[in-house]
Structures are given as structure tokens and as C-alpha cells.
Amino acid sequence: MIKVENVVKSFEGRTVLKDISVEFGTGQTNLIIGRSGSGKTVLLKSLVGLHDVDEGAIYYDDVCFSKLDFRARKDIRRDVGMIFQGGALLDASTVAENVKLPLDLFTEQSEEEKMERVNTCLKRVNLEHAHHLYPSELSGGMVKRAAIARAIVMNPRYLFCDEPNSGLDPQTSIVIDNLISDITKEYNITTIINTHDMNSVMEIGEKIVFIYEGEKWWEGSKDDILHADNQELSDFVFASAMAKRAKKASK
Amino acid sequence: MFKFFESIGKYTLLMQKVFSRPEKRSIYYRRIWHEMEALGLNSIGLTAIISIFIGSAVTLQMAITLESPFIPQFMIGYATREVMILEFSSTVVALILAGKVGSNIASEIGTMRITEQIDALEIMGVNSASYLILPKIVATVFFFPFLAIFSMLIGIGGGYGIAVLTGIMNPMEYIDGLRYCFYTEEITYALTKMVFFAFFITSISAYCGYYAKGNSLEVGKASTKAVVVSSIVIMICNLVLTQIIRT
């Protein structure tokens, strides 16, 4: 479980996150949605400690993560996996080397054990044939899958995904969504996904938090979202012409 | 002025992070070997080409300038040796390496910054500054003095070659000049300078890349800044070290 309590974050006098409190449960896919520039990425980066919050606290289970120093955070970070928008694979390393890196740095496993774990993770994301390829040789979907493999290689308890579907076609997006959702259930981890892809929301959104201009505007499930009595949320959810037509037809 | 002191402070803090205890030494050793190849071995060609031409040109210039019955011919070899050992092989080669290696380091680390690769390392719990920068510093501090020795040999060889090819002077006189008043301290001085230059080129370039923000345009600016700042620091450092070691 990850708990956010009254978090405030500003950049050069501009408040980006305004008193946000929310709880993300274990074993479920939690989605943070909102328009571009609403503060989703800042919230996600604050959750993982890439930004220090100005006020408030962030708890990883019972530990107040935001109050820990760099060294103390290191222990928790071994339990954290993150998938970045662009994959963030190391360009100079192959897929297998990228996935193996956390094992190299933080475990005492033998090379054979490490490679076995790497192969298991790559197989899990259907990339076992690509272990020798460099990130520049991969397609967008493959980069995301390799990033997922790297994120889960240490058996994390917390998984963060920053717009995992950006730049992907709808079919590949569904594959990535389902993969993240399945992994969440399989490993019973706390997964937080940052997205503005409504397909993801309707596909895997067990808990959804809507951020509007730096504030938490709404929270609920994918079943609630269609009937929510909230103008800004409705404007966001039904922004596309297709969604508008679908809503009209359902009425 | 405030920005200057802010940069010095940020640089010092970064170096503190770079020289903190590494996560796992074996990984760092592997990375050091890799960086030696990328930053050191791959610079041999450029160093050789420039050194051979400069060595030849210096010999030619000396032969033309010192054409006087009162100046013995071996002085040409002597002057070429002094130029190559004292200034060219360390300072000028360092300036050239600041352009090649410095821009390479700044753009590599800068690109890693803007594509969130550094953030990915941080989230894994890796000390990204140490992981990325320390192997580069160790590799260049160790390897660049060898490049300096290589440059001295090639440059002096180039001078000999031009003497033989053009017949502008007696090659044996050139060799006599090379042996004239030779002090090994001069080599020590040149290599000591190169160790300092290697450290500054790598750490300043890494600093510029590590704090790059925004897009590819900013990476380009960081790369240019790395070369300019490294070059200025090399010149100042050269002056200071010459004053300290040679006087």
C-alpha cells in the first residue's frame, strides 16, 4: 500500500500539486489520470522520490518514504520497479544487460542464476528472442516490454508506470496494459500507472484518481467513472468524438 | 557571479557523490575497462595523426628559423623535443581530447539525463553519479598519461621523419639534439599535468551532461559548454602547475 498525505509541491513559486491525499492499494492497478500538465507526472515522480515534496508525507506501507534520506531510501528502492514513458533503457547495453543490471549491482547470485532470472523475466514479457538486441534495434512495444522485464527482475513490491502506452498503437497498448495488470496480480504488488489513455482506464483501472490543475478532483473505479457527476472529469473522459457518440448512444 | 559560485558548489557536491563508496566493485572494474577502450584507446588515432604532423611541422619551422652558422643544428632536435614534451604532448593534446572526449562524455550523459535513463538508475537505488562518472574519471586519469607518452614518441618521430625525408638537416644531428640536456623530470612534469587535465576534462564534461535539462538542443549546449570550460580550466591549470612544478 502507498499512502499520500496532504502533498504539496511547487516549482519556482508555481504550485503544481495542491494538498493531495490518496491511498493506493496492494494487488490492484491504480491509475492516475488527468490532462497534460495537470501534475500527474510530478505526483508520480514525487511518489518515487525523484522530486522531494514541499509539504505532506508519502508512506510505503508503514514507512514514511518522503522523510528518509538518500541512503535509507536505497533499501526501499530495491523493492521498486518503474517503467518510464520512453522506456529509459540504457542505450549502451543490450536488452539482457539492461534487465540484468539490478541483479549485478544488488545481488550475490552467480552468473548462471542471474541469466536464468533474466530469461524468466524476458519470457514473461515475450522477449526471450531479443535478449541480444540493443534498445535502438527494438520497436516501441518491445522497448516497453523490456522496461517491464527490468522493472520486475528484482521481484518488486511497488511498480510505477509513467504513461506506458504513449506512442503505441491501440493493440500493442492493450498487450502492455494486460501485461502490467497480470503482473500486478501475479506478484501481488502495488501498481500505480500514470496515463491519459481512456482505453487503459476502461481496461485495467481498478482504482482511478483524476488530477485536475494539481488537485485531486475525483477518485473511484472504472465502473463509477462513466456515471460520475463531475463536469471536469466528464469533459476529460468523453473528450474524443467516439466517446461522445458512445455516450449519446448509451443514453 | 552568484551563478559561478553556485556551479562550483554543485560541481563539488557532484564529485562528493561520484567518489562515495561504489555499489559493487566488480561492476565498476568492468566499466573502467570499457571506458578505457571508449575514451582512451579510441583516441589513439587522433593523437597519433596530430602529433606526427605537429612534430614534423615544429622541426621544419625550427630548421627554417634557426638557420644560422652560430646555432648548431642539433638545437633543432633539442627544441622539437622540448616543445613536444613540455607543452604539446600534455597541454595541446589535452585541449584536443577536451574536444573529442569531453563532448562525447557531456552528450552521452546529457542524453541519458533527458531520456530519463539516469532517473531509472536512481530509482533502482544506484548512485547514478558514481556509476556513470567514476569509471570515466579513473579510465582517463590512468590512460591519458599513456596517450601523452605516445604523443611525445610519435611527435619526435615525426620530426626525425621529416628530417630524413626533406634533408633539411642531418638526422644524426637531430638525434644528438634529442639527447642534449635531457632531464627525466620533464617527462614527470608532463605526465603530472596530464593526470590533472584528464581529471578536469572528464569531471567538468560529466558535470555539464549530468545537469543538462530539456531537449536535444540543451544537450548540444551542454556539450559545447563542456569543451569551452574544460579548455579554459586546462589553460589555467597548465599555468598553475608550471609555476608550482618548474620553478
Q: Looking at residue A180, which CATH number applies to its domain? A: 3.40.50.300
Element (H, E) at B31: helix B25-35
SS3 per-residue string spanning A21-32: EEEECCCCEEEE
C-alpha cell at B84: 613536444
Of B24, B116, B122, the CB nearest to A86: B116
Q: Are residues A179 and A245 in the same domain?
A: yes
How big is the CA angle at B158 (ends B156 and B164), to the nearest 5 degrees? 110
Number of H helices, E strands in chain B: 11, 0
Chain A residues with CB-CB distance to B under 8 A? Answer: 45, 48-50, 73-75, 77-78, 80, 82, 84-86, 88-91, 101-102, 104-106, 160
Q: Are residues A160 and A229 in the same domain?
A: yes
Instruction: With CA atoms as reference, report the closest residue to A91 among B166, B100, B109, B143.
Output: B109
Chosen domain end from A155, A172, A198: A155
Number of domains in chain A: 2
Strand partners, A20: A7
Nearest Cα residue in chain B from A86: B115
Q: How far apart are alpha carbons B189 and A106 in whole angstroms?
A: 42
Q: Are residues A161 and A69 in the same domain?
A: yes
Region of B141 please: left (phi>0), alpha (psi -120 to 50) or beta.
alpha
Q: What is the DSSP letter of A33?
A: E
Q: Are the Cβ atoms of B125 and A104 closer than 8 angstroms?
A: no
Q: Are the Cβ atoms of B116 and A74 closer than 8 angstroms?
A: no
A189 in Cβ contact with A181 (< 8 Å): no
Q: Are residues A189 and A170 in the same domain?
A: yes
C-alpha cell at B220: 548540444
Q: How far apart are alpha carbons B48 and B147 in whole angstroms?
A: 9
Chosen domain end from A129, A155, A181: A155
Mutation target among A68, A79, A90 for the B interface, most CBs of B within 10 A: A90
Distances (CA, A) of A12 to A15, A62, B6: 8, 31, 17
Domain that holds residue A243: 2-79+156-250
Which ipTM did the prediction report? 0.85
Strand partners, A8: A55
Q: Are residues A103 and A198 in the same domain?
A: no
Chosen domain end from A109, A132, A155: A155
C-alpha cell at B184: 627525466
| Tally of CB atoms within 10 A around B226 | 30
Q: Are residues A138 and A243 in the same domain?
A: no
Phi, psi dihedrals of residue A113, rounded to the nearest 5°: -65, -40
Q: Are residues A74 and A177 in the same domain?
A: yes
The tens-digit pLDDT sequence of chain B (247 residues) is 788 899 999 999 999 999 988 778 888 899 999 999 999 999 999 999 999 999 999 999 999 988 888 889 899 999 999 999 999 999 999 999 999 999 999 999 999 999 999 999 998 888 999 999 999 999 999 999 999 999 999 999 999 999 999 988 889 999 999 999 989 999 999 999 999 999 999 999 999 999 999 888 999 999 999 999 999 999 999 999 999 988 7
Strand partners, A158: A80, A190
C-alpha cell at B157: 618521430
Distances (CA, A) of A163 to A141, A168, A196, B83: 13, 10, 7, 58
